[in-house]
Amino acid sequence: MLEYVTDADDPRLTDYTRLRDVELRKSLEASRGLFLAEGEKVIRRAIGTGYPIRSVLTTRRWLAALEDVLGDATVYVVSDEIMSGIAGFQVHRGALASMERLPLPAVETLLKGGARRLLVLEDLVDHSNIGAIFRSAAALGVDGIVLSPRCADPLYRRAVKVSMGAVFSIPYARMDDWFGGLARLRQAGFQTLALTPDQAATPLDTVELAERVALLLGAEGDGLSSHWLHEADRAVCIPMSRAAMAGGVDSLNVVAAAAIACHGLMRSAEV
């Protein structure tokens, strides 16, 4: 159903309010049970994985590109100027969609679902990093992701955009018990490996991986907490170049480390 809107302050567009205000958006999206998908490909992936559409905001020239997947969804059509004014930036991919969130599974559901390789993320608060890690994990065949209570929201617009919709294709759950969470993984039969930049740790590519492995990744900058490092079965590292370390480059950023570690994690798993 098409509705033409000529005023950026039209109350029908409240799902798209102040997209650059991160704290407001987190509060609004949580209270309304929604998230935003940006661009044709991401919108298609969200719809294809079962997320219901609340509405779509687009311009005339992008209608044809999306009409085959929108069904009877409400589509608000605006001018390019209004779209830019609402979004606060140029929407190069033509459309924003307000989608309904689905209930997250419990961690136990993820653990009992046959997963063999998991990532466990502790306190990663940057949405771009979360999105990039989800994309790497999905591309390399990781079975699922467990988030600590304080991790950023994978369905926040920036995370969804950076992941190119990979957040829709890999199962994830959020821990409700940070302190005892790793014990639950161990009880489910997972070997827990804590990734650290400390080169005294065991190189990941030399570890004999168990049938079920959970790789722990820590926050940007600080890395894993001492609690999770000590709680894990083993600390592992990605070996760094000695020459680079001598020059002061002693670690990778968390996204690069996650991609390399995911590749290593899958070496003995069936892909």
The proportion of the chain whose per-residue pLDDT surpasses 90, expressed as a percent, equals: 65
Q: Which residue has the tokens 């719809």?
A: 47
CB atoms within 10 A of CB 21: 12
Task: Give the residue-averaged pLDDT of 134-158.
Answer: 95
CA distances from 15 to 41, 85, 192, 195, 224 (A): 20, 14, 40, 39, 36
DSSP state of 60: G
What local confidence, expressed as pLDDT, does residue 82 receive? 85
The proportion of the chain whose per-residue pLDDT surpasses 70, expressed as a percent, equals: 95
Residue 55 · residue 97 · CB < 8 Å? yes
Give the C-alpha separation, 40 to 264, whole Å: 33
Q: Does the pLDDT value for residue 67 go beyond 80?
A: yes
Q: Where are the beta strands (DSSP E) in the chain?
A: 2-4, 34-38, 53-58, 75-77, 95-100, 117-121, 144-147, 172-174, 191-195, 202-203, 213-217, 234-237
What local confidence, expressed as pLDDT, does residue 221 receive? 78
Q: Which residue has the tokens 């046959």?
A: 114
Residue 43 · residue 162 · CB < 8 Å? no
What local confidence, expressed as pLDDT, does residue 271 receive? 42
Choose among 40, 35, 55: nearest CA to 152: 35
Take residue 145 and report the two structure tokens written for it.
Answer: 């992701």
Residue 223 · residue 197 · CB < 8 Å? yes
pLDDT digits (tens, 9 = 90+) for 253-266: 999 999 999 999 98
Burial 42-55 (b: 16+ CB within 10 A, else e): bbbbbbeeebebbb
Dihedral of alpha carbons 26, 31, 33, 36, sign: negative
pLDDT digits (tens, 9 = 90+) for 163-187: 999 999 999 999 998 888 899 999 9
pTM above 0.75, yes or no: yes
